Amino acid sequence: MKKIIPLLLLILTFTSPLYAQKVKEISELSKIKGVTVVQINKQLLNLIPKIDQVNGIDTNQLSGKLESILILNGEDKAATQLGKEMQLILKSLKVEPLLYASDEGEETTMYYVEGSKKENQFILFSQEPDEVSIIVLKGSFTPQDISTLVNK
């Protein structure tokens, strides 16, 4: 017993930092070297002229509910790291894909993450062998809002 307690303490000492690592937020992925970032906040979204329809879709329904748009893109080494980090984040969020599509090596997955009143997120995650793109729409919209846009 005297040998087991120090051994357990030693194991806990070296393994506890592994469990204490905080999963990154999606916005922190912009710090990965080689990742291109475009972030549009509510103030800029309000300056964009209102467009009634885009390809027959009523966009006004969603525009007032949108708080921000974040676009991340990485190629080569940055794509590898960006893809791995995003998969860890999605795993930690415990979300199920809304849609998955695969075509000639490109995989695209859509997710909806419900948060507080204005913190819902619609995530589009696209992976190719040498490129990863992530688009995050954040706002007070619901899955029904997205469904209405898609079904028109």
Calculate Rg over the CA atoms of the chain.
20
Here the tokens at position 36 are: 């291109």
Please state, in angstroms and rounded to a whole number, the distance separating the CA atoms of residues 15 and 33. 28
- Residue-level pLDDT at 50: 62
Q: CB neighbours of 63 closer than 8 A, spacing ≥ 6?
A: 45, 50
* pLDDT tens digits, one per residue of 34-91: 999 999 888 887 776 665 555 555 556 666 788 888 999 999 999 999 999 999 999 9
Considering the entire predicted model, what is its pTM?
Answer: 0.76
Q: What is the pLDDT of residue 12?
A: 38
Greater pLDDT, 108 or 8: 108
Greatest mean pLDDT range, 23-32, 41-50, 80-89, 110-119: 80-89
The encoded tokens of residue 47 equal: 């300056």
Residue-range domain boundaries for the chain: 22-147
% of the chain residues with pLDDT over 70: 69
